[in-house]
Amino acid sequence: MAAAAHSKFNEFRSKFRGTFFDFIYYLLVLTFPTILIAVGFLKHDACPSESRIPLWLIAYGLVILANRLFAEIVSKKSKAVELKYPEIENETKLEKAQRELWIDSEGPHYAKAVFSLTRSFKILLIIIGIYLLFASYDNSQYCHWAPYSLFIFAVISSILLLFGLILVGFCLLCIFRKENDSHA
């Protein structure tokens, strides 16, 4: 489901490739991790109660950038392979399966593997960030506001809120699907 939404977004974005939309997209995608890295470097001594918070900011920002880089590599290489094996009009299921097999066999396997690894590492860093945030909450007055209050709290709160919204959305989807299935 997430892959389909990402694919539709990339399809929408490809219509505006090379335009102002691309500029804004990359500006937003690159600004957030760059700010995390900058604050981590600039305030590396500003949180004596939990000195790992600035390090977490740097690591999380770098992983976000690496994840974005490998997502772009996978997207570009996959698109090139798909152009090599275009869809045929009135294609049978067997021909489609064969074409998808060719595409998959020539796809950017190393980039997909690294992309999956960075995505997994992002999840691990989120868990570590939650631990650092709540482990040092009582001593937060000893931290500079930038690395602690603004970024750690904002980032972790946003991620938890997003996860909660996705979970609620998924539950609502399941409920409405059951209702529609029972009426059919």
**Is the whole-model pTM more than 0.85?**
no
Domains held by the chain: number: 1
Question: Across the chain, how many H-helices and E-strands are there?
Answer: 6, 0
The whole-angstrom separation of Cα 174 and Cα 70 is 33
pLDDT confidence of residue 1: 47
Nearest CA among 15, 22, 12, 126 for reference residue 67? 126
Output the 3-class SS for 139-162: HHHHCCCHHHHHHHHHHHHHHHHH
pLDDT one-digit tens code per residue, 121-145? 888 887 887 787 777 666 555 666 6
- Band (69; pLDDT cuts 50, 70, 90): confident
Residue pair 10/72 in contact (Cβ under 8 Å)? The answer is no
Whole domain around residue 90: which residue ranges? 2-183
Q: Six-digit token pair at 155?
A: 């980032």
Residue pair 127/154 in contact (Cβ under 8 Å)? The answer is no
Please indicate whether residue 151 or residue 167 has the higher confidence score (pLDDT).
167
The whole-angstrom separation of Cα 108 and Cα 78 is 7
Q: Any idea how long the chain is? A: 184
Nearest CA among 18, 121, 119 for reference residue 68? 119
Nearest CA among 147, 128, 127, 125 for reference residue 49? 147
Please indicate whether residue 58 or residue 75 has the higher confidence score (pLDDT).
58
